[in-house]
Structure 1
């Protein structure tokens, strides 16, 4: 196959490239290196898969996702691509068969894990065959300052010297300017062409609300917005600890939600079964730590929820990006509170990293906190973090229901004066709960024993309740006027906070909404068939049932047989010949050969009323 467009049409079933794809493909086909920053669902995989089918030899794809390699390879084989993988899950016989196929020139792509590629045996073996290109997926894992650092990625820089004539392409959906620079430097890609797409995901509604009863808030959210056509939608819920993962999953199950826990402490067979069900079944909600979700291509995840504050904006963007890969409306929802901030900062203080690493992690957390507390468009702030500009999106909670603001100057002075007087008069620092009790004039044994009823600020803050003062603390933290230190999250004034305490800096605070704004395009409206006529939608459901049966028999995720958008187009166009079917996006020659006649039979049977 001589041209990228021929490969795109005949193998993948698409008429044209999107965005920068064509330029990236041309760069790699011609033997050049590339660094690709493209959002989840933007079509990164085509940027190396198409060149792999044009260039002579076999492409090596470096991926940290051992659990997904089998499905990734299975999806390519559905397209007629000669793909395989090498990893620790294989038997010696399976590995030997793959190695023989590679050496015989019978493979187009081979997936390997970074730790596997760092071994001398694997490098020697690959050197005995012919490499067409090297694709380094999830390239942000090379960044030691990033949210998902993996030491094995550091060794991938050697590939430039080991195979100097083989083009390399590094790809990621998440990178700040600093991470981008690290990818370039550590992977020795200084001479590569760089392609940076917009990170905007306009189909995702971002919603963040104060944490009160997080599991109940989560359940209410899933019941109201995690529904498609009256059925439970597929979703992912992220929690910080393994204990929280298990308790949250159990709570959802108790309340009728088809939820499964996933974290590294569970038995591997249970984790594999959970992943298998999530990829192949509809309506599964996985409650997980951040170990879950990277690289998952499931297109119809309708919501991603966080019940704990993520550690960084990069991590949050990566995790929320797993929703709505099909481009349909989806929701990223989060409940967070002051305790989340204190917990994260305590973990940073107790980490093994040096002072520079702790400062970097604190900066990540502060940016995440600022995103949560902004009164302006969340999408604007999110994209600004990645050095990209945007106007107000009209599709986040702060756009849909603009928060009210109030003059918080005096409240900030009261809180900061309390912190300052405790330091000056007692040489002591305390957490938010104790400070709020002092301001509200709470009389309890601890306050009385410590003599804090004698403070001049005792009882001067009765105009706000405890939740209102927590909001003040959060927003002062987000603005950098306060910081926490120590194992118990004691509060200190920062240098920038001193003028605030003296009333020299006026402050406007956002008022916490009693009920968060909802999208004008809620999740339940995200059905693919929503834009079809009633008759076409019924045919779409018939095609879905056929696809489910085929996928189950082949033990493949349904979307790797034919995607929802392809089924929608079939239901609307109703092709009656193989030629008409081939003209539909998502159907290449291999899928036409494998499924064409069966699809035409489903259409014919539906039209005849059978």
Structure 2
């Protein structure tokens, strides 16, 4: 039904939106650019919003859907994500529902009845479900307040999580003319944003791009010593052991890797849960429920586990295998620290990883132009991981933030790596690969440079590059070769499991030969498993240094919350986040009025849980 058939009354005001935010979510004001986005949608205008993970993207369409007349339609890519958001909304007293394959026929009938009766504020559907004609027909019979497209980067073939079903969402502009549409995402560079706007037919939309800064995240990258799975697994186990008792996510590049690492972590005493697309859907759902409900759980997953995670207290994300682009990296790292408290993102990487990434891209069915862009994105990621620029600064500049400053807390800022000018060594290595006819692996190339090839033939010893690097140490040559791989100056041909080193981008290689491009390499790469103590700030630090009474109240509240969550079969954090429980433990409210003033306690939760919270505090005091 066109929007002009709805009430012609003045649109809801931003003041009403702020009042709703405080009443339902318990927050006194909007963060960042939320208010700008909300104002556009309230006025009935299209908008595309790129807001950081944890920056409250969903509120930007949830509040307008509650205030504007009609039903808010939300298109979301994952059942887990829809379920999580709907359950959280219900806890806050918002009338929300979802339609997916897990909803029974009786429940579907009740959802449509509530929608027709005007009793529903938000309805979540998948893009695949929206492709069904009968669903469109039913929606045509309802007044729509807005259409929200969540995780909008899935629309773009230039993005890191392209989904063909999302490409058809542009037709919503014709199917529901006049209904304001909002597209939201946390990760989209300029080219991806342009593709989203074009594909969704949002040509007149206001585009709002907030800073990609996540100041509570401390980022680090650790060069793998070798390609051994056992070494990588041991490094991951050591990193998780150092964070014992904290909730985290470990990303692996394969299903087998997930199972192997999860098993090793369990053997080491960690509550580790494997999760990947090869499991039955019900099994995955059960494992997700465990991760969301259990304190200190560590999910070991492939990228099948990502957007559906809304657990606020994830304290670390470890990439045992790096992702394929900076967009994917930022999306996955962004699972940590959504509550705003300190969190860590640690990535293990090595030459074999970029070789695997490039082989996977080469074997993909995507168009040549798209494949070339994805190869460039992969190299940009590895250049950042192996570089010497502040990591958040490098990512923010990638997304177009020209004024981004060093973060001061990542591994590069805290311990700047020692670099050396390796331009001459790079020239020698490139020349050696060329003279050898691009017919050997990296070990043989290094032996050639050192003049130590076993049983070298006369044709090889006669080359001008034979022994030209004898004055450079073996480990330094390995580092130089690795760096040239990351930079795309050298590439590896798989050669049926026996990789051959070949020259990369011809123009870039010529620039190095001519001395027009300088090459800087770390003098000593970080060792896997090394750890740095971060400067702790925020509520985690407060808890660790708090007196015993506050800690005891906090644990009492967590136990109370765990029981309520088990009764309702929902994740504990949808009742109250740890951050809110800690505020309550610190304030020790003696009545409902005092409790209502604590951030994160909205009116619905006060009505539903206020007496229970006060009783739990009272019993603890007794």
TM-score higher than 0.5: yes
Kept after mapping to 1: 8 A contact 2:384/2:391: yes
1:492 corresponds in structure 2 to: 503
Q: How far did residue 121 of structure 1 move?
A: 1.0
Kept after mapping to 2: 8 A contact 1:302/1:523: no
1:507 corresponds in structure 2 to: 519
From 223, 227, 240, the equivalent of 2:241 is 223
Of 573-582 and 530-539, the range deviating more from structure 2: 530-539
Change (3 A) 1:489 1:173: farther
Kept after mapping to 2: 8 A contact 1:205/1:395: yes
Q: How far did residue 507 of structure 1 move?
A: 3.2
Counterparts of 1:139-288 in structure 2, within 5 Å, are 139-212=152-225, 213-224=231-242, 226-227=243-244, 232-288=245-301
Q: What CA distance in whole angstroms lies between the structure 1 residues aligned with 2:596 and 2:587?
A: 12
1:294 corresponds in structure 2 to: 307
Kept after mapping to 1: 8 A contact 2:341/2:539: no
Kept after mapping to 2: 8 A contact 1:33/1:167: yes
1:457 aligns with 2:465: yes
Q: How far did residue 369 of structure 1 move?
A: 1.5
Kept after mapping to 1: 8 A contact 2:248/2:298: yes
Q: Deviations over 1:65-110 (max 9, x none)?
A: 1123223211111111111110112222222222222122221111
1:481 aligns with 2:494: no
Q: What stretches of structure 2 of length at least 5 have no aligned partner? A: 1-11, 226-230
1:5 aligns with 2:18: yes
TM-score normalized with structure 1 length: 0.93
Q: How far did residue 172 of structure 1 move?
A: 0.3
Kept after mapping to 1: 8 A contact 2:392/2:406: yes
Of 155-164 and 567-576, the range deviating more from structure 2: 567-576
Q: What CA distance in whole angstroms lies between the structure 1 residues aligned with 2:233 and 2:494?
A: 29
Change (3 A) 1:309 1:283: same
Kept after mapping to 2: 8 A contact 1:483/1:491: yes
1:431 corresponds in structure 2 to: 441
Q: What CA distance in whole angstroms lies between the structure 2 residues aligned with 1:192 and 1:220?
A: 48
Of 340-349 and 145-154, the range deviating more from structure 2: 340-349
Change (3 A) 1:297 1:506: closer
Counterparts of 1:410-425 in structure 2, within 5 Å, are 410-423=424-437
Of 302-311 and 487-496, the range deviating more from structure 2: 487-496
SS in 1 for 2:388: coil
1:309 aligns with 2:322: yes
SS in 2 for 1:257: coil
Q: How far did residue 383 of structure 1 move?
A: 0.8
1:350 corresponds in structure 2 to: 363
Counterparts of 1:72-111 in structure 2, within 5 Å, are 72-111=85-124
Q: What CA distance in whole angstroms lies between the structure 2 residues aligned with 1:525 and 1:42?
A: 18
Q: What CA distance in whole angstroms lies between the structure 1 residues aligned with 2:474 and 2:287?
A: 40
2:3 corresponds in structure 1 to: none
SS in 1 for 2:405: coil
Kept after mapping to 1: 8 A contact 2:158/2:192: yes
Q: What CA distance in whole angstroms lies between the structure 1 residues aligned with 2:256 and 2:94?
A: 42
Counterparts of 1:364-383 in structure 2, within 5 Å, are 364-383=377-396
In angstroms, what is the RMSD of aligned CA positions?
2.2
Change (3 A) 1:450 1:133: farther
Change (3 A) 1:294 1:543: same
Kept after mapping to 1: 8 A contact 2:220/2:410: yes
Kept after mapping to 1: 8 A contact 2:79/2:308: no
Q: How far did residue 517 of structure 1 move?
A: 6.2
Kept after mapping to 2: 8 A contact 1:10/1:589: yes
Q: Deviations over 1:339-384 (max 9, x none)?
A: 1111111222222223212211111111111101211211211111
Q: What CA distance in whole angstroms lies between the structure 2 residues aligned with 1:506 and 1:39?
A: 34
Q: How far did residue 460 of structure 1 move?
A: 3.9
Of 455-464 and 516-525, the range deviating more from structure 2: 516-525
Q: What CA distance in whole angstroms lies between the structure 1 residues aligned with 2:587 and 2:290?
A: 32
SS in 2 for 1:53: helix
Kept after mapping to 2: 8 A contact 1:482/1:492: yes
Q: How far did residue 521 of structure 1 move?
A: 2.5
Q: How far did residue 48 of structure 1 move?
A: 0.9
Counterparts of 1:116-135 in structure 2, within 5 Å, are 116-135=129-148
Q: What stretches of structure 1 of length at least 5 have no aligned partner? A: none
From 544, 551, 564, the equivalent of 2:578 is 564
Q: What CA distance in whole angstroms lies between the structure 1 residues aligned with 2:20 and 2:424?
A: 66
Q: What CA distance in whole angstroms lies between the structure 1 residues aligned with 2:618 and 2:285?
A: 39
Change (3 A) 1:407 1:22: closer
Counterparts of 1:49-64 in structure 2, within 5 Å, are 49-64=62-77
Q: What CA distance in whole angstroms lies between the structure 1 residues aligned with 2:170 and 2:568?
A: 38
Q: Deviations over 1:16-73 (max 9, x none)?
A: 1111112221211121111110011001111111111111111111101112322321
1:596 corresponds in structure 2 to: 610
SS in 1 for 2:374: helix
SS in 2 for 1:141: helix
Of 344-353 and 147-156, the range deviating more from structure 2: 344-353
Q: What CA distance in whole angstroms lies between the structure 2 residues aligned with 1:284 and 1:524?
A: 22
Q: What CA distance in whole angstroms lies between the structure 2 residues aligned with 1:464 and 1:76?
A: 62
From 356, 360, 367, the equivalent of 2:373 is 360
Q: What CA distance in whole angstroms lies between the structure 2 residues aligned with 1:431 and 1:351?
A: 25
1:65 aligns with 2:75: no
Q: How far did residue 202 of structure 1 move?
A: 0.9
Change (3 A) 1:321 1:450: farther
Kept after mapping to 2: 8 A contact 1:349/1:485: no
